[in-house]
């Protein structure tokens, strides 16, 4: 067989882009079954445009055919952590275990090296704790595991009485909880930028060194307040004596999968921990999600297995473990080229 790796430009309503995405979806279904997560080219293009990243897409074809056997996207950051790239790589289930994935991976690593990156930090997931293909593949290709995350799912709807019973009801003279649907109020943005900076270093990241992300109000506006096919709801805790936002949590619903709500970041500033603010903002956000998006059937979240506090909060809310995610790192300096 003769494999060719080709770079493609992703675009909405473009058959080659749809074929690229279908490889990812088919590989995902191979791992997770029919309920596998889906996305859309619309979302992939939107995300690339709103972030400080350069994303390049690649396909592997064979013997002159246009049909992709494998697909990948390299993700190079341009604002912070510029040396550490991300990578999304899938091989169609009909073509796995033939060296296709390794060939595409070597190509992407070289592209990233040529673009000035010195490392890759990415994750893979499976419904089993051990023995999945991605783990074998990552280890065979020189990656080291930096973290193990639990995937937890909460079936919706959750009875409102159950949420009320859990609600820690913070002292209203100390904290108030506020919620915003599909966009953030302008007056949140400065504080929200500080919360995003802290989020980038406070969540467990294993033994990989990442710099604090460089967030300001303008970057928050660009990610959360520009028109997007991704829908979001966010709840924050405001510290009444100072008026500052000290905790946040957000949930997004993506256009490719409206029945799945994805829990994104949650953070309570260190100085305000230990007062159940994490639970309070998550409950408020869940209530808003149920009110605004009654079609959502599941909330899904990922947390480091060592983040016992967050995992325990989720369990109290009714989340159950449905998978495991491993985070991987590879140093590209000195690694062999293609």
Ligand X SMILES: CC(C)(COP(=O)(O)OP(=O)(O)OC[C@H]1O[C@@H](n2cnc3c(N)ncnc32)[C@H](O)[C@@H]1OP(=O)(O)O)[C@@H](O)C(=O)NCCC(=O)NCCS
Residues in contact with ligand X, total (CB under 6 A)?
A: 20
Sole binder of ligand X in the list 57, 85, 100, 251 (CB under 6 A): 100
- Spell out the residues 6+ positions from residue 193 whose beta carbon is closer than 8 angstroms to its own: 215, 216, 217, 219, 220
Q: CB-wise, 137 or 188, nearer to ligand X?
A: 137
In whole angstroms, the minimum distance from the beta carbon of 190 to ligand X comes to 35
Q: CB-wise, 96 or 179, nearer to ligand X?
A: 96
- Spell out the residues 6+ positions from residue 59 whose beta carbon is closer than 8 angstroms to its own: 5, 6, 8, 16, 19, 20, 23, 68, 69, 70, 71, 72
Asked whether position 124 contacts ligand X by CB under 6 A, the answer is yes
Asked whether position 88 contacts ligand X by CB under 6 A, the answer is yes
Sole binder of ligand X in the list 4, 78, 102, 226 (CB under 6 A): 102
In whole angstroms, the minimum distance from the beta carbon of 10 to ligand X comes to 17
In whole angstroms, the minimum distance from the beta carbon of 111 to ligand X comes to 15
- Spell out the residues 6+ positions from residue 4 whose beta carbon is closer than 8 angstroms to its own: 60, 61, 62, 64
Asked whether position 266 contacts ligand X by CB under 6 A, the answer is no
Question: What are the helix (H) ranges across 33-159?
Answer: 41-50, 100-114, 133-140
Instruction: Identify which range of 133-141, 145-153, 245-253, 275-283 contacts ligand X by CB under 6 A.
Output: 133-141
Bridge partners (DSSP) of residue 260 are: 298
**Cβ atoms 281, 266 nearer than 8 A:** yes
Asked whether position 238 contacts ligand X by CB under 6 A, the answer is no
Asked whether position 89 contacts ligand X by CB under 6 A, the answer is yes
**Measured at CB, which residue is nearest to ligand X?**
136
Asked whether position 128 contacts ligand X by CB under 6 A, the answer is no
What is the residue-wise DSSP string for 208-224? ---PPP---HHHHHHHH
**Cβ atoms 191, 244 nearer than 8 A:** yes
Binding region for ligand X (CB under 6 A):
27, 31, 88-91, 96-102, 122, 124, 133-134, 136-137, 140
């Amino acid at each position: 067989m003769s494999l060719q790796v080709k770079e493609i430009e992703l675009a909405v309503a473009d058959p080659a882009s749809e074929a690229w995405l279908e490889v990812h979806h088919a590989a995902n279904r191979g791992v997770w079954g029919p309920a596998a997560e889906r996305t859309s080219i619309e979302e992939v293009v939107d995300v690339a445009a709103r972030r400080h990243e350069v994303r390049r897409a690649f396909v592997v074809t064979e013997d002159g055919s246009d049909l992709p056997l494998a697909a990948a996207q390299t993700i190079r950051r341009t604002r912070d952590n510029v040396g550490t790239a991300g990578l999304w790589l899938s091989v169609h289930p009909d073509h796995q275990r033939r060296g296709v994935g390794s060939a595409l991976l070597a190509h992407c690593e070289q592209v990233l090296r040529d673009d000035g990156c010195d490392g890759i930090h990415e994750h893979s997931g499976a419904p089993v704790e051990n023995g999945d293909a991605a783990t074998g593949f990552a280890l065979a290709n020189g990656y080291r595991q930096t973290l193990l995350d639990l995937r937890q799912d909460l079936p919706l709807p959750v009875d409102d009485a159950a949420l009320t019973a859990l609600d820690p009801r913070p002292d209203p003279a100390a904290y108030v909880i506020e919620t915003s649907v599909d966009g953030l109020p302008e007056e949140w943005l400065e504080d929200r930028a500080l919360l995003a900076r802290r989020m980038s270093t406070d969540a467990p990241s294993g033994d990989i060194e990442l710099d604090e992300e460089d967030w300001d109000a303008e970057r928050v506006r660009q990610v959360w307040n520009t028109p997007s096919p991704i829908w979001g709801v966010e709840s924050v805790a405001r510290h009444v004596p100072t008026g500052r936002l000290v905790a946040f949590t957000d949930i997004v619903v993506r256009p490719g999968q409206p029945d799945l709500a994805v829990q994104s970041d949650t953070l309570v500033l260190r100085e305000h921990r230990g007062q159940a603010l994490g639970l309070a903002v998550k409950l408020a956000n869940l209530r808003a999600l149920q009110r605004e998006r009654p079609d959502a059937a599941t909330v899904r979240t990922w947390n480091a297995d060592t983040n016992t506090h967050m995992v325990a909060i989720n369990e109290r809310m009714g989340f159950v473990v449905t998978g495991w995610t491993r985070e991987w790192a590879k140093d590209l300096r000195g690694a062999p080229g293609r």
